[in-house]
Amino acid sequence: MLYEVILREREKNIFTNQKLIDIKKGDSVVVKTENDVEAFGKVVNIVDFIKDSYIQGKIERKATEEDILELEKNKELEKKAYEFCKDKILSGNLQMKLIDVECQFDRHKLKFFFIADGRIDFRNLVRDLAATFKTRIEMRQIGVRDYAKRLGGLGLCGRSFCCRTFLKEFQPVTIRVARNQDININPQKISGVCGRLMCCLTYEEEFYSNELKKYPKIGTKLDTDKGKCIITKINIFAEEITVQYEDKSEEVIHRSKIKFPEKRMWKIFPRRSFLKRQKKSEK
């Protein structure tokens, strides 16, 4: 059995139970990650199978009262470290914004997450932090998408951010993805809280890309009985295309009437000239 464990109330990972500990859904556990670092988490799901690449470590033990007390101490330390670091950033006039602080479960390391427009010389800050908290210090600069992930919240759909709940890695999202889905290019409607294009735009991208291959591209010229025209819109669900003729009139044509090009010109069939030739040949 494999166990889905949520760490720090936001990061879900899969762990093995090699010690065959009796663990149920909802139990608090201490896990050891693939980097051999202990972490505190809660079992949210038990699964039978998942790809090996997603396994992040193993469960060490059920959380004891001592582990829970250690977790509370770590949270207090994180709060103190956050306030101390924030004051040092202000006094040092550093052009950076502190986002979050994470204390390793064994308190051997403190991670400070921040955003900044460029590179920051924080060597003096690190020395002050190490001298004050007597542990290893890691400063990690993150982007706006990671900022939103750590901040959490609700998207336009009313659900928690995908990056906060289940997305492991960020995939690049381009404006072409929105155009392929015939979405109105309104930045306020297709951008997330982070200011970037919403990650969910990529969820159906493969379907749209595969379907659009069955049609000529928008802007393609077609040859019909009524004359030459140009494609202005594609509706993959109705399997229709909208074309505009030279006189600005429009027509909706079903995909079944589109003939794949022999050379470089798509055609709508059957054309009248073709039918006349066919009748003559039959005679």
- Which segments of the chain belong to CATH 3.30.300? 69-142
pLDDT of amino acid 236: 87
Could you tell me the fold of the domain covering 69-142? GMP Synthetase; Chain A, domain 3 (3.30.300)
Strands (E) in the chain, as ranges, are 2-7, 11-16, 28-33, 38-47, 55-62, 97-103, 109-115, 136-141, 221-224, 227-235, 240-245, 250-254, 258-259, 266-268
pTM of the model: 0.70
Amino acid at position 125, single letter: L
**DSSP string computed for 206-244:** HHHHHHHTTSPPTT-EEEETTEEEEEEEEETTTTEEEEE
pLDDT in tens, the chain (283 residues): 788 888 877 777 788 888 888 888 888 888 888 777 888 888 888 877 766 557 778 888 888 889 889 899 999 999 999 999 999 999 888 999 999 999 988 888 999 999 998 888 888 999 999 999 999 999 999 888 888 888 888 888 888 888 887 777 788 888 888 888 888 888 888 888 888 889 888 888 889 888 888 888 888 887 777 888 888 888 888 888 898 888 888 888 887 777 655 555 555 555 555 555 555 555 5
pLDDT of amino acid 272: 52
- d(CA 46, CA 23) in angstroms, rounded, equals 9
Structure tokens, 270? 């059957």
- d(CA 186, CA 203) in angstroms, rounded, equals 19
pLDDT of amino acid 84: 94
Structure tokens, 77? 């330390």
